[in-house]
A and B are shown apart, each in its own frame.
Chain A
Amino acid sequence: MPLSAASINIDDSVLVQRSQRGDLEAMERLILKYQGRIFNVILKISGNSDDAAELTQETFVKVIESIDKFKGRSSFYTWVFRIAVNLTLNYCQRNAKMATRSLDAEEDESDSQARQGLKDFLSDESAADPAVLAQRRELCDLAKQALLKLEEPQRAVMVLRDIEGMNYAEIADVLNIELGTVRSRLSRARSHLREVLEAMQK
């Protein structure tokens, strides 16, 4: 289960204040606290671990460089994710063609066993348990591929909600969009993901 946003904010303001005063240890603690989650979100959006590592690194460099400008109007949590997602979406836009080619190559490698597993998943009328699904590695690989088929804005909303566990208001804050846009974009993303998965099983 993803951590709730509220639980993350504990001590953030103190660490941020110390960082703004030049306390390197506080800044290191903030990096250590968020690096895993930032990396995971970036990876799920970008689909490449090397790129995700580089983008995560760039995110924290920007955070350190801009920590003095952080006024606390939003939480540090949403601020750091806003930097990360913006960097990632910009990167994805610049490398859209390359990402599509990479995805097509991976799709060809998916074997028939994985497709059968996906077919079972889609035809199952019962609600799937995430813990059980996580055990089915081939299904997860297909899900990652399907996720990358979505447009980046839809992918970002879905990752922030279903992987990072943000609520709609936090997603709206991170992506700087309206709450209604979050709602509709997330709905279309899930619907589209279902369609992509159905196309992949054929």
Chain B
Amino acid sequence: MKANPQIDELLCSFIDGELPLRQQTEVQRLVARDAEVARRLRQLQNCKNLVNALPAEPAPIDMLEQVKRSLERRTLLDSHAAPTVSRAGARHLKIRRFLAAAAMIALMGGLGAVVYQIVAPVSPAVSVRPVADAPRPIQVIPNAPSVAPAPVVVAGQGFSGRLELRTASLTQADAFIKAAIEDNGLKGFAETQTLADRRVYRIECSREGLDRLVADLGTIWTNFDSATLVVDTDRFADPVVIEPVTVRQIAQIVKQDSTEASVQVARGVVVLNSFAQAMPGGDILSTPENNTTMMIATPEIPRPRLASNDPATKAIPAPPQGGVQTTMTIVLLNTQ
């Protein structure tokens, strides 16, 4: 009988008991009717029996030990390989942690420096004045008047400092400042010195009087080539230097109730100016007056009253008496 795959499949399933009862009955009938099918069934059955008769070989008696040894070998290999990987990973992790810590320290240091500059006294060595600028306001000016040295202010007083203004129109500026002193009723509180290349005005008056004078200076501020404010502190020869300074910044510093407050605001201005200069376009503060870059709250400055010869239009304020006393030395330098 030539092998028929479909019959063989049916017969094999019959031999293995994998047929449903109905198909089993059909196969039994087929085998009973067809001798060739019956013969093929026996052949396939004998094949199965022959394979089934193959003796089972026992596993090696030390199989369990072999498995254990194999596991131990793999564990050893893994333990040799793993540390290399884990060591590299740990090293990488350590580097990342170190870099993160360094970045954090640097950030904290930067923040600390900013806070220190705002809070702590500014030493000359860390002054943020532009290096190239000359002459420096802190330096001794040749032929400086005797009123120029920075006084050591007493705590409780108001602002004390020096404003250096450089101008090519010395005569006009001198006339304006003298008029402004007189208009604000500060004539009795001011000493004036006239030198060849400069004018010096030492004014000791109330905070309000000085505030008004500063506001008046704002009207001719564009006539000044540069302006530097030196704010005295309670430490000798350790002033806060703001260069350049704007009239609004001066006003804000002057209006403080105490020397300490004025110094604090001055330090803040120094830091803000240095930030502004460090930023792109930061030289915007280099001009003597630029109100748009004032980064701190600025006071509303009353518009100055121009010096006028018409007494009817001028109301001379009452001389400052009592209140917070301020001291300002204005040095007007000729740049021509």
Listed in ascending order, the chain A residues whose CB lies under 8 Å from chain B are 2, 28, 31-32, 35-36, 38-40, 43-44, 49, 52-53, 56-58, 60-61, 64, 121, 124-131, 133-134, 139-140, 143-144, 147, 158-159, 161-163, 167-168, 183-184, 186-188, 190-191, 193-194, 197
- In Å, the complex CA distance between A127 and B39 comes to 10
Chain A interface mostly: helix
B286 close to A (CB within 8 Å): no
Q: Is the CB of A39 within 8 A of B51?
A: no
B33-63 near A? 1/0 per residue, CB < 8 Å: 0000001001111111111111111111001
A-B contact pairs, 17 of them (CB 8 A): A32-B64, A49-B57, A56-B63, A57-B63, A60-B63, A125-B39, A127-B42, A127-B45, A127-B46, A147-B54, A163-B52, A163-B54, A167-B16, A187-B11, A187-B13, A190-B8, A194-B47
With both chains docked as a complex, state the minimum distance between the C-beta of B255 and any C-beta of chain A, in angstroms.
Answer: 76
Q: Is the CB of A125 within 8 A of B42?
A: yes
B71 close to A (CB within 8 Å): yes
Specify which chain B residues have a CB less than 8 angstroms from the CB of A168 in the assembled complex. Answer: 13, 16, 18
Specify which chain A residues have a CB less than 8 angstroms from the CB of B63 in the assembled complex. Answer: 31, 35, 39, 53, 56-57, 60
Specify which chain B residues have a CB less than 8 angstroms from the CB of A39 in the assembled complex. Answer: 57-60, 63
Q: Is the CB of A191 within 8 A of B8?
A: yes
- In Å, the complex CA distance between A59 and B48 comes to 27
The 9 closest A-B pairs by CB, nearest first: A39-B59, A133-B53, A134-B53, A162-B51, A130-B53, A187-B9, A130-B49, A187-B12, A187-B8
Chain B residue with minimal CB distance to A133?
A: B53
Q: Is the CB of A183 within 8 A of B12?
A: yes
How many chain B residues touch A (Cβ–Cβ < 8 Å)? 36
Chain A residue with minimal CB distance to B18?
A: A168
- In Å, the complex CA distance between A197 and B47 comes to 9
With both chains docked as a complex, state the minimum distance between the C-beta of B18 and any C-beta of chain A, in angstroms.
Answer: 5
With both chains docked as a complex, state the minimum distance between the C-beta of B321 and any C-beta of chain A, in angstroms.
Answer: 92
Q: Is the CB of A35 within 8 A of B59?
A: yes
Specify which chain A residues have a CB less than 8 angstroms from the CB of B67 in the assembled complex. Answer: 31, 57, 60-61, 64
- In Å, the complex CA distance between A32 and B58 comes to 12
Specify which chain A residues have a CB less than 8 angstroms from the CB of B64 in the assembled complex. Answer: 28, 31-32, 35
Specify which chain B residues have a CB less than 8 angstroms from the CB of A49 in the assembled complex. Answer: 57
Q: Is the CB of B46 within 8 A of A121?
A: yes
With both chains docked as a complex, state the minimum distance between the C-beta of B300 and any C-beta of chain A, in angstroms.
Answer: 76
B74 close to A (CB within 8 Å): yes
Specify which chain A residues have a CB less than 8 angstroms from the CB of B9 in the assembled complex. Answer: 183-184, 187
Given contacts A60-B63, A125-B42, A183-B12, 20 further A-B contacts (CB under 8 A): A31-B64, A40-B56, A43-B57, A44-B54, A52-B57, A53-B60, A56-B59, A127-B45, A127-B46, A130-B53, A133-B53, A139-B50, A140-B55, A143-B54, A162-B48, A163-B51, A168-B16, A186-B12, A193-B51, A194-B47
